[in-house]
Amino acid sequence: NAGVTQTPKFRVLKTGQSMTLLCAQDMNHEYMYWYRQDPGMGLRLIHYSVGEGTTAKGEVPDGYNVSRLKKQNFLLGLESAAPSQTSVYFCASSSVPGQGFTDTQYFGPGTRLTVL
Amino acid sequence: TQLLEQSPQFLSIQEGENLTVYCNSSSVFSSLQWYRQEPGEGPVLLVTVVTGGEVKKLKRLTFQFGDARKDSSLHITAAQPGDTGLYLCAADTSGTYKYIFGTGTRLKVLA
For chain A, list residues with pLDDT below 70.
1, 97-102
Cβ separation A104–B48 shorter than 8 A = yes
Residue B42, domain extent? 5-110
Cβ separation B99–A45 shorter than 8 A = yes
> How many residues comprise chain A?
116
Mean pLDDT of B67-87: 95
Mean pLDDT of chain B: 91
CA distances to A26, B72, B77, B102 from B20, in Å: 36, 10, 9, 15
CB atoms within 10 A of CB B24: 16
Chain A CB contacts of B4 below 8 Å: 42
CA distance to partner chain B, nearest, from residue A95 (Å): 10
Chain B CB contacts of A94 below 8 Å: 97
pLDDT computed for residue A108 by the predictor: 96
pLDDT computed for residue A104 by the predictor: 83
Chain A CB contacts of B97 below 8 Å: 31, 94, 97, 103
Cβ separation B103–A59 shorter than 8 A = no
Of residues B92 and B85, more confidently modeled? B85
Domains assigned to chain A: 4-98 (2.60.40.10)
B48, closest residue in chain A (CA to CA): A104
Cβ separation B42–A108 shorter than 8 A = yes
B23 CB-near residues (< 8 Å, 6+ apart): B4, B5, B6, B32, B34, B71, B72, B73, B74, B89, B91, B102
Chain B CB contacts of A35 below 8 Å: 101
pLDDT computed for residue A99 by the predictor: 54
Count structural domains, chain B. 1
Q: What is the CATH number of the domain that holds B16?
A: 2.60.40.10
Check whether B50 has a pLDDT greater than 70: yes
pLDDT category of residue B2 using cuts at 50, 70 and 90:
low
CA distance to partner chain A, nearest, from residue B35 (Å): 10
